[in-house]
Chains A and B, each alone.
Chain A
Amino acid sequence: MGGKSEPAKSESMATTTTSPDLINSSFFSFKSLKLKTKQQELLLRISILGLVYILAFIARLFSVLRYESMIHEFDPYFNYRTTLFLTEKGFYEFWNWFDSESWYPLGRIIGGTLYPGLMVTAALIYWALRFLRFFVHIREVCVLTAPFFASNTTLVAYFFGKEIWDTGAGLVAAVLIAICPGYISRSVAGSYDNEAVAIFALLLTFYLFVKAVNTGSLAWALASAFGYFYMVSAWGGYVFIINLVPLYVLVLLITGRYSMRLYIAYNCMYILGMLLAMQIRFVGFQHVQSGEHMGAMGVFLLMQVFYFLDWVKYQLNDTKLFQTFLRITVTSAIMVGGIALGLGTASGYISPWTGRFYSLLDPTYAKDHIPIIASVSEHQPTAWSSFMFDYHILLFLFPAGLYFCFKRLSDATIFIVMYGLTSLYFAGVMVRLILVATPAVCLISAIAVSATVKNLTSLLRTKQKVSQTGSTKGAGSSKASSKVTLDQSQPFQKNGAIALLVGVFYLLSRYAIHCTWVTSEAYSSPSIVLAARGAHGNRILFDDYREAYYWLRQNTPTDAKIMSWWDYGYQITAMGNRTVIVDNNTWNNTHIATVGRAMSSNEDEAYEIMRSLDVNYVLVVFGGVTGYSSDDINKFLWMVRIGGGVYPVIKEPEYLVNGEFRVDKGASPKMLNCLMYKLCYYRFGELTTEYGKPPGYDRARGVEIGNKDIKLEHLEEAYTTSNWIVRIYRVKPPTNRL
C-alpha cells in the first residue's frame, strides 16, 4: 500500500547490487519514452523479476562450468536411472516396474516405492523439448531441472510476498531466495533430487492456500489441492504441509480470527488434496491410517462441529437455549472422537509416528533405536555455524520481520509466522531441513527489509512540506507523518535516513557476495569427482569412482552381483549396470546388517555370507593414498553398529581399543583381521604415500597401518583405480572338495 513512487525507490536497492548506474540512465530514458508512473512501475517490476529469474538459474551453474554436465552425489543417480526408464519404456511400465537389479535376491518394487513427481516432471520437459524438435539427451534435462525450478520458485516467492505484505516485499523475497545458500545447497545443476521440485511445490501450495483463505474462493482452494498433490508426488516432506495447515487453522480458531473463507479453503483443500494424494501408490492409505496425518482429520472434524454450532447459534438468537444445545453437542462430540481415537491407536489400526518423523520430535530417539537413520550425515543436528553459513544476514532480519508481522496481523501474516517458527525448529533438529525453512526465512526477512527501506525512503521524500501534516503523503504509516512534523526540530533526520539506507545497501551487497562465495566454494562439488590442489596450485581431478564403475560395466559378466556398502548402490546400478546387494533406499535393515556383518567378520565367516548371497565382486572405497576422508574405513563403525543391531555376535567394543578407533599397530586384533581392513589395505604396506613417511602410511587417518602383510584366501584383487580410491575384488568359487 505504498505511494505511487515508493516501489521505484525500494526496488533501486535490489538493483544496486548489480549495476548502480542503471538507475540514472533509466530515469532519463523513462522520461524520453513518456511513460506514465504506473507503467514505469510495471516495467521496473517485470525487468527486476526477469533479472532475478536469470540470476537464480546462472548462480547454480558453477559445477557444470568447472567439471562437466553430470549428475552429482548418490540419490540423484537413482532418480536419473528411473527417469531414463520412464522415457524409454513409457508411463505404464514405469508405474508397474519391479526391479531385480537391486537388493539381490529380494528385488525392489520401484513403481510402488518412489515419489514420481520429479521423474514425471523431467520426462514432461524432455518430451516437450523433443516436440519442439530440440533433441537433447535426458541427462541434460535432468541436470538442469533443479535450476529451472529454482527460478520458478523465485516467481512464486514474489507472488507470495505480494499476498502477505506488498509488491516491494515480494520483489525482495524473490531476490533473497534466488541466491540463498540454504536453498542452493540442494538445487545446484546436477543435484537431481526430490527437493529440487519439492520446494517449488511447497511454496506454491502455501501461496495458493493463503490466497484461498484471503479470497474465500473455491477455485483457489482447488488450485491449492492440486499444489498439494504435486508436493505429495514429489517428496516425503509433504507431511509438513498436512500438519502445518491444520495447526494454522487451529490457531485461527482459537484466536477467534476464523471466518467463512477459512472453512471453504481448508475443507476443499483437505478433501480434494487427500483424495489426490492417495493416488500415489507410495502414500497409499496413509492419510486415513497413519498417526502423522490424524491431526488434519481431527481439525477437519473439529471444523464441522465448530461451524455447525456457529450456524445454530446464529439461527437461535437466544443464549439460554443455545447453551443447552452446546452442552449436548460438545460432550457427545468429544466422547465419540475420544473413543474413536483411542480404539484406533490401541488396536494398532492407526499406526504411530514412524521413526523418521518421530526423531524430529525426539532427536535422541534415532541414536538409541535406529542406527541407520542416525548414521546419515544430513540427519545430524544443526550447528550454529551452519545457520550462519546458510542464512548470513537473514538470521537477524528474521526477528525484525517477525516484529513487522506482529504489528500488522492478518490471516496471511499469521500463516507465514507459523511457517517460519515451526520450520526453524525442525531446521535446528536436522541439517537437511534448513532447506524447508529457507523460503519462510527469506519471506519474513524480505518484509523487514522492505518495510524498513520504505520508511526510510518516505523520510527522504518528505521534502520541505512542513506546513502539511503529512497525511496526504502516500507513506501509509503514522510514524512517517509524525516524523515530518518533527522535521523542523531535527534537521539531521534526512542525513540519518541516508546513512541508514547506505547501511542497508551495504548489508545486502555483503549478502550477495557471501552467497556467491558459498555457492562457489562449498555447494558446487559433484561428490563423484574429487578435486584437490597440486603442489604448484594447479587443480587435480580424481575421477576414480566413474573409472571403477565403467570398469565394472565393461569387464564383468552381465549377471555379476556386487557387494558394497549401501552408499554406493545407486551409482553402481546406474553407471555400472550391475546387480547390487544393498543400495541407498535402505528399506531392509536386516539385509544391510548382513552386509555389515560380512564386512566386519574375518575372511572365512565373510566368505560364508558372501556365498549365501551369490556375491561375485566386492567393492570398497579407500582414501588412504589420497587423504580422502569419506571412505569405508571411516564409515566402518557404522557398519559394526548396524550389523550389531541385528546380529548380536558383532560387538562394537571388540573393534575399539579403550573406546578409541585405531588402525595402526595398537588396533584390536578383531579390527586387524576383519574383511574391510584386509580389502582396504591389501598391498598397501608396500606403497609409499608421502615423502619421509614409512611405507603403509595412511594419509586419511594419519598413522602407519598395523597389519602390512595381508594375504587373501577367498578373494583376489580384480581392479584398483589409479589413485587407489575404489578397490574391486573378485570372490573365488569354492575349491574342489577332496
Chain B
Amino acid sequence: MVKSTTKDAQDLFHSLRSTYVATPTNLKIIDLYVCFAVFTALIQVAYMALVGSFPFNSFLSGVLSCIGTAVLAVCLRIQVNKENKEFKDLAPERAFADFVLCNLVLHLVIINFLG
C-alpha cells in the first residue's frame, strides 16, 4: 500500500515536471514571482507567530500585500497564456498595464494602512 502510493507520488512528480518544462519562459517567470510572494507571506506569518500580532494593521497590510500581488500575478498569467481561448484577442501589453495599475492601487492602500 505504502509502496504504491510512493510510486504514485513519484509518477505524479515526474509527469508534472515534464509538462512544466514545456511551458514558455515568460510564464515561468510569473510563476517564480508568485512563489516568491507566497513564500514572503509565509515568513511574515511565522514571524507573527513568534512575536505576536500587535500592531495588527501592519501585519495585515504586510501579508495582504504579498497575497495581493501573488493573486494579481496569477491573473496576469491567465491573461497572457496563449493557451487560454477566452483571452486570445487581449493584447499582452494591455494585460500588463492592468497588472501594473492594480499593483499601484494595492501598494498605495498598503502604505496608507501600514501605520
Binding site for B on A (CB under 8 A): 216-219, 221-222, 225, 259-261, 263-264, 267-268, 271-272, 274-276, 278-279, 285, 288, 312, 315-318, 321, 324-325
A411 to chain B, nearest CB (A): 12
| A contact residues around B72 at 8 Å (CB) | 218, 268, 271
Q: Does B56 contact A (CB under 8 A)?
A: yes
Residues of A within 8 A of B25 (CB): none
Q: 25 A-B Cβ contacts within 8 A?
A: A216-B79, A218-B76, A218-B79, A218-B98, A219-B98, A221-B102, A222-B98, A222-B102, A260-B86, A263-B74, A267-B74, A271-B64, A271-B67, A275-B64, A276-B109, A278-B60, A278-B113, A279-B113, A285-B57, A315-B16, A315-B20, A321-B8, A324-B5, A324-B8, A325-B12
Are B79 and A272 in contact, with the CB atoms below 8 A? no
A263/B78 in contact, CB under 8 A: yes
Of all A-B residue pairs in the complex, the 8 with the closest CB atoms, nearest first, are A218-B98, A315-B19, A271-B68, A264-B75, A267-B71, A275-B109, A324-B8, A260-B78
With beta carbons under 8 angstroms apart, the residue of B16, B75, B95, B112 that contacts A263 is B75
CB closest chain-A residue, reference B68: A271
A535 to B33: give the CA distance in the assembly, Å.
81
- Taken residue by residue from 37 to 52, chain B's Cβ proximity to chain A (1 for < 8 Å, 0 otherwise) reads as 0000000000000000
Task: Report whether A218 and B68 are in contact in the complex, using a CB–CB cutoff of 8 Å.
Answer: no
Q: Chain B nearest CB: distance from A261 CB in Å?
A: 6
> Quick one: which of B3-22 are within 8 Å of A by CB?
5, 8-9, 11-12, 15-16, 19-20
Contact A268 B102 (CB under 8 A): yes
Taking A217-B98, A272-B102, A275-B113 as given, write out 18 further A-B residue pairs in contact, using a Cβ cutoff of 8 Å, ordered by the A residue number. A218-B95, A218-B98, A218-B99, A225-B105, A260-B84, A260-B86, A260-B87, A263-B74, A263-B78, A267-B75, A268-B71, A268-B75, A268-B102, A271-B71, A272-B68, A275-B110, A285-B57, A324-B5
* B101: Cβ under 8 A from any A Cβ: yes
Q: Is there contact, CB below 8 Å, between A279 and B86?
A: no
Chain B residues with Cβ under 8 A from A316's Cβ?
12, 15-16, 19
Complex alpha-carbon distance, A279 and B5, angstroms: 49
> If the complex has contacts A218-B95, A219-B101, are A321 and B12 also in contact, measured as CB distance less than 8 A?
yes
Give complex CA distance A45, B4 in Å.
Answer: 68
Shortest CB distance A696–B (Å): 61
Residues of B within 8 A of A225 (CB): 105
Q: Which of the listed residues A217, A218, A264, A272 has the most CB atoms from chain B within 10 Å of its own CB? A: A218
Q: Which residues of B contact A278 (CB under 8 A)?
A: 57, 60, 113
Given contacts A218-B79, A272-B68, contact A259 B86 (CB under 8 A): yes
Shortest Cβ distance from B80 into chain A, in angstroms?
Answer: 12
Q: Which of B12, B56, B79, B109 contacts A264 (CB 8 A)?
A: B79
For A260, what are the chain B residues with a Cβ–Cβ distance below 8 Å?
A: 78, 84, 86-87
Q: Which residues of A contact B109 (CB under 8 A)?
A: 272, 275-276, 279
Q: Are B86 and A275 in contact (CB under 8 A)?
A: no
**A267 to B74, alpha carbons, bound, how many Å?**
10
Give the residue of B79, B98, B106 whose beta carbon is less than 8 angstroms from that of A275.
B106
Query: Which residue on B lies nearest to A276, using beta carbons?
Result: B109
Chain B: minimal CB distance from A303 (Å): 10
Collect the chain A residues with CB atoms within 8 Å of residue B95's CB: 218
Measured between alpha carbons, how far is A285 from B58 in the docked complex, in Å? Answer: 12
Q: Report whether B101 and A272 are in contact in the complex, using a CB–CB cutoff of 8 Å.
A: no
Residue numbers in A under 8 Å from B110 (CB-CB): 275
**Chain B interface residue count: which class?**
35 or more
Q: In the docked arrangement, what's the CA distance between A263 and B76, Å?
A: 11
B56 interface neighbour in A216, A272, A276, A285, Cβ under 8 Å: A285
Question: With contacts A271-B68, A272-B106, A315-B20 known, is A288 near B60, CB below 8 A?
Answer: yes
Q: Is the interface of A mostly helix, strand, loop or mixed?
A: helix
Rounded to whole Å, the gap between the CB of A379 and the closest CB of chain B is: 33
Residues of chain B within 8 A (CB-CB) of A274 are 64
CB contacts (< 8 Å) of A325 on chain B: these are 12
- Give the distance to chain A from B40, nearest Cβ to Cβ, in Å: 16
B86 smallest CB distance to A (angstroms): 6
Q: A272-B68, A312-B16, A321-B12 are in contact. Are A222 and B60 (CB under 8 A)?
A: no
Instruction: Tell me the minimal C-beta distance from A266 to chain B in angstroms.
Output: 10
Q: Give every chain B residue within 8 A of A222 (Cβ-Cβ).
A: 98, 101-102, 105
Query: A218 to chain B: which residues have CB within 8 Å?
Result: 72, 75-76, 79, 95, 98-99, 101-102
A316–chain B nearest beta-carbon distance, Å? 6
Chain B CB count within 10 A is highest, among A259, A276, A315, for: A315
Q: How far is the CB of B29 from chain A (nearest CB, A)?
A: 17
Q: Which residue of A lies closest to B23 (CB)?
A: A315
B64 to chain A: which residues have CB within 8 Å?
271, 274-275
User: How many Å lie between the Cα of A264 and that of B19 in the bound state?
Assistant: 24
Closest CB in chain A relative to B113 CB, distance in Å: 6
Residue numbers in B under 8 Å from A315 (CB-CB): 16, 19-20
| Cβ B19 vs Cβ A261 within 8 A | no
The smallest C-beta distance from A192 to any residue of chain B, in angstroms, reads: 28
Residues of A within 8 A of B75 (CB): 218, 263-264, 267-268
By a CB distance below 8 angstroms, the chain B residues around A321 are: 8, 11-12, 15
User: Taking the nearest CB of chain B, how far is it from the CB of A60, in angstroms?
Assistant: 35
Which residue in chain B gives the minimum CB-CB distance to A220? B98
Min distance, Cβ B10 to any Cβ of chain A, angstroms: 10
Bound-state Cα–Cα, A317 to B12, Å: 11
Kindly state the separation between the CA atoms of A70 and B67 in the bound complex, as whole angstroms.
49
CB distance from B58 to the nearest CB of A (A): 12
Given contacts A222-B105, A268-B71, A268-B72, contact A216 B86 (CB under 8 A): yes
Contacts of B105 in A (CB 8 A): 222, 225, 272
Which residue of the partner chain B has the closest CB to A317? B19
**Cβ-neighbour of A285 out of B16, B60, B99, B102 (below 8 A):** B60
Residues of A within 8 A of B16 (CB): 312, 315-316
* A197 CB, nearest partner CB in chain B, Å: 21
Residue of B nearest to A261 (CB): B86
> What is the chain B residue whose CB lies nearest that of A285?
B56
Q: Which of A221, A279, A318 makes the CB contact (< 8 A) with B112?
A: A279
Task: State A267–B68 Cα separation when bound (angstroms).
Answer: 9
Assembly CA distance A318 to B19 (angstroms): 12
**0/1 string, B78-99, CB within 8 A of A gives 1:** 1100001011001000010011
Nearest A residue to B11 by beta-carbon distance? A321
A324 touches B56 (CB 8 A): no
Q: Across the interface, which residues of B come within 8 angstroms of A288, CB to CB? A: 60
